[in-house]
């Protein structure tokens, strides 16, 4: 009989944690060790979901329960492919599930995109969510009108955070330096641009409505983009959620702009395709050129040759996230995922690399909500368990040996008890704050590691 399975999960975002949960529920003997390159678990729930979405962040409570299972461990500050290699893990684990997510901006290849004040939305998100390895500061004092390219939920988050006042965000977990920067923002107008029409928008109704919940922000939909073709009508007849989105947008399209100078505005422009960021290396961004699009009847679009220059001084592109390659593993450079068939990672010939699996955004690309990573994990785990008898057992089978290896490498690893200590610390900072708050996030990796460290 084979020894009980030992599985490593690389990436402690929701996909990795759900996969660990499903594994332990379906195999009474398996043990799972989860690794993350950050000192903390929860991936984009902590570093992607907007601070003013506490309801979503509450999913962490359920994931915490999963991690309390003694058959599951968490080890932070281990960057697989950088600190240690995939082959090192194979010494201790019979199978490895990669759930490394996606956290960088996809490129947008239009002239001027590299000018100063042309930003990746993912960088701004990482800033306001206080990711320890990403920008720790942001200049919001140099642009009153800004463009947000894209009309998905991430674009909504970015537009909303840019438009809200710093004080409106103070009830969230943002640290003081982020609050200070949002508070001093001079942004008055946020223009969102979509290439396609309202019936092709990627928003979800709840997130869209939320855009208008602030008394300091007015949302204006520019009516000339509110066009529908036969394809749109068909899409609308098939989706209640889309009908809700279009109803909300239609309501906003007949509003007058509020003349109150204290109100910030979010403008939504459909059927305007960004074709060039205007400016020079000396001036940075001075505008955005878009080409008017028309619907072709089947939800497709084509350019009309009519161009508009919008006087904005900063551009945030929210055109999607992308995963990063992992050393020693194949990578699909076109789709930015680990090449896989239902979670089994494939080599360049299309054969399954024994013992290597993928789940979450690195498996199927950066689309879908946290809940989707659960069904995704079910498929990957089912295939892993189906392969289990044929998996070659790793030579070293002891958790303590794997831990000793990491310590020998000089890594300042953190564990799940350490996460609890960090949480307590952040909550205490919240209570001690001048405005009583649920928590205040730490953002410096050394400090986080120190607080989380068992030696503390
Ligand atoms: C801006 C933004 C807002 C969002 N808002 C919502 C929302 O409101 N509601 C909702 O349901 N969904 C939201 N989502 C979607 C949700 O975040 C994703 O569906 C989910 O996080 C994907 O999970 P994952 O585990 O695949 O990846 P991730 O959450 O990205 O987790 C991957 C983990 O792997 C780690 N990692 C990466 N590489 C390595 C490596 N080489 N070694 C070790 N560790 C590594 C990372 O540090 C990270 O912790 C949002 C996404 C974004 C980008």
Domains of the chain, CATH where assigned:
6-102+323-411 (3.40.50.720), 105-321 (3.50.50.60)
Residues with CB under 6 A from ligand 1: 10-16, 35-38, 43-45, 48-49, 53, 56, 79-81, 99-103, 125, 154, 157, 321, 326, 360-361, 368-370, 373
C-alpha distances out from residue 38 to 82, 108, 118, 264, 310, Å:
13, 28, 27, 36, 40
Helix (H) or strand (E) holding 120: strand 118-120
Centre of ligand 1 from the C-alpha of residue 349, in Å: 29
pTM of this structure: 0.95
Ligand 1 mutation pick, 84, 100, 360, 362, max ligand atoms within 8 A of CB: 100
Ligand 1, atom 39: closest residue by C-alpha: 100
Give the position, in ligand 1's atom list, of the atom nearest the Cα of 102. 30
Alpha-carbon gap, residue 338 to 227, rounded angstroms: 38
Centre of ligand 1 from the C-alpha of residue 396, in Å: 31
The reported pLDDT for the residue numbered 456 is: 45
C-alpha distances out from residue 106 to 59, 333, 334, 355, 397, Å:
27, 12, 11, 29, 39
Ligand 1 mutation pick, 14, 15, 43, max ligand atoms within 8 A of CB: 43
The reported pLDDT for the residue numbered 435 is: 82
Ligand 1, atom 8: closest residue by C-alpha: 49
Alpha-carbon gap, residue 41 to 17, rounded angstroms: 9
Centre of ligand 1 from the C-alpha of residue 222, in Å: 33
Give yes or no for a contact between 179 and 169, defined as CB atoms under 8 angstroms apart. Answer: yes
The reported pLDDT for the residue numbered 455 is: 54
Model pLDDT for residues 396-431, shown as the tens digit of each residue: 999 999 999 999 999 999 999 999 999 999 999 999
Centre of ligand 1 from the C-alpha of residue 83, in Å: 21
Give yes or no for a contact between 279 and 286, defined as CB atoms under 8 angstroms apart. Answer: yes
Give the position, in ligand 1's atom list, of the atom nearest the Cα of 53. 8
Strand pairing class (284-295; 272-280): antiparallel
Tokens 């028309």 found at: 294
Centre of ligand 1 from the C-alpha of residue 447, in Å: 23
Please report, to the nearest 10 degrees, the dihedral formed by the alpha carbons of residues 181, 123, 168, 266 taken in order.
110
Helix (H) or strand (E) holding 314: strand 314-317
Q: Mark the ranges of the chain whose per-residue pLDDT is less than 50.
A: 456
């Amino acid at each position: 009989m084979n020894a009980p399975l030992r599985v490593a999960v690389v990436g402690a975002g929701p996909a990795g944690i759900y996969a660990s949960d499903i594994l332990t529920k379906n195999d009474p003997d398996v043990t799972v060790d989860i690794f993350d390159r950050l000192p903390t678990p929860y991936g984009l729930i902590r570093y992607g979901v907007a601070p003013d979405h506490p309801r979503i962040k509450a999913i962490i409570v359920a994931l915490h329960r999963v991690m309390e299972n003694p058959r599951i461990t968490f080890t932070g500050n281990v960057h697989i492919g950088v600190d240690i290699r995939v082959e090192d893990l194979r010494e201790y684990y019979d199978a490895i599930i990669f759930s490394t997510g996606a956290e960088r901006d996809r490129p947008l290849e239009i002239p001027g995109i590299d000018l100063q004040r042309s930003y990746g939305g993912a960088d701004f998100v990482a800033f306001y969510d206080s990711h320890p390895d990403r920008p720790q500061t942001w200049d919001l004092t140099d642009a009153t009108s800004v463009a947000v390219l894209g009309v998905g939920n991430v674009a909504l988050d970015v537009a909303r955070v840019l438009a809200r006042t710093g004080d409106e965000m103070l009830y969230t977990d943002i640290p003081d330096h982020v609050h200070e920067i949002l508070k001093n923002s001079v942004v008055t107008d946020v223009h969102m641009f979509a290439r396609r029409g309202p019936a092709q928008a990627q928003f979800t109704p709840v997130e869209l409505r939320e855009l208008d919940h602030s008394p300091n922000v007015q949302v204006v939909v520019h009516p000339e983009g509110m066009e529908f073709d036969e394809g749109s009508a068909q899409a609308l007849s098939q989706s209640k959620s889309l009908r809700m989105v279009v109803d909300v947008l239609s309501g906003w399209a007949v509003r007058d702009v509020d003349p109150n100078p204290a109100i910030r505005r979010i403008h939504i422009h459909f059927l305007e395709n960004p074709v060039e960021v205007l400016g020079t290396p000396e001036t940075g961004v001075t505008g955005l050129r878009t080409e008017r699009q028309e619907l072709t009847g089947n939800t497709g679009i084509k350019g009309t040759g009519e161009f508009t220059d919008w006087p904005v001084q900063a551009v945030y592109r929210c055109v999607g996230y992308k995963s990063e390659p992992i050393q020693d593993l194949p990578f699909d450079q076109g789709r930015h995922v680990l090449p896989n068939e239902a979670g089994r990672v494939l080599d360049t010939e299309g054969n399954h690399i024994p013992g290597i699996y993928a789940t979450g955004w690195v498996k199927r690309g950066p689309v879908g909500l946290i809940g989707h990573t659960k069904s995704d994990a079910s498929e990957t785990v089912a295939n892993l368990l189906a392969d289990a008898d044929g998996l070659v057992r790793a030579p070293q089978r002891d958790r303590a040996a794997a831990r000793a290896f990491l310590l020998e490498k000089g890594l300042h690893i953190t564990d799940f008890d350490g996460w609890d200590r960090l949480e307590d610390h952040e909550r205490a900072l919240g209570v001690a704050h001048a405005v009583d708050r649920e928590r205040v996030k730490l953002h410096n990796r050394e400090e986080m590691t120190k607080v989380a460290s068992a030696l503390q």
